[in-house]
Amino acid sequence: MEDARNNQAAHSASGDLSERFDARWPLGVQLPKLLLASSSPRRSEILRIVGWDFEVGAVEVDESLRPGEDARAYVERLAAEKATAAADVHAHRPVLAADTTVVVDEQILAKPEDADDAKRMLRLLQGRWHEVLTGIAVVLNSETRVAHEQTEVMFAPMSEVEISWYVSTGEPMDKAGAYAIQGQGARFIKAINGDYFNVMGLPVRLLYELVRR
């Protein structure tokens, strides 16, 4: 009886710390509860929208761009570093980390430093296409899986009055590329080619593929 209780307790602890599957569904569609290594409210919102169980365990890493590093390598490296750092703290937990950036004319547009920097970014983006890249990393069963998603976004032309107004809302200040497609910035998005959730900051389909791999 004691062994049975110990086995039951061990099973319960394992379920809390890792995958917590529902026996009603086949393994192919069940999702592990994730530790989200990000304080981004947008990534949390996306996981809630798609019904993916998670907890937040944000970590900090140096996000400086390395010499000669292109945008794809940059977002994948940061995602992997965040995931690894979180996994070191939360052992035996499935971990998810992500990093998003915007690219136009081979320039990487991260979060603006101030209002003037946000206006500069919007002037670069207005009236043209740009790329949004998100690197994601999943640590699952001691294996780190890394990939990135790319989406093309077309901005409508913006007047200086519109740029100043949008920056004054404060919305651009903590966003890569100085805009939020799911917020007031949506009024300036003319077209999108690819994954909408990627532009928000978390490509769900790519995440699902990495977890099922």
Q: Is 99 a residue of the active site?
A: yes
Nearest-angstrom CA–CA distance, 137 and 90 = 15
Q: Which helix (H) or strand (E) holds 112?
A: none
Catalytic position from the list 99, 105, 114, 174: 99
User: Residue type at 149?
Assistant: E
Rounded to whole angstroms, the Cα distance separating 95 from 75 reads 17
Please give the C-alpha separations between residue 138 and each of 114, 190, 200, in angstroms, as whole numbers.
32, 32, 18
Catalytic residues: 99
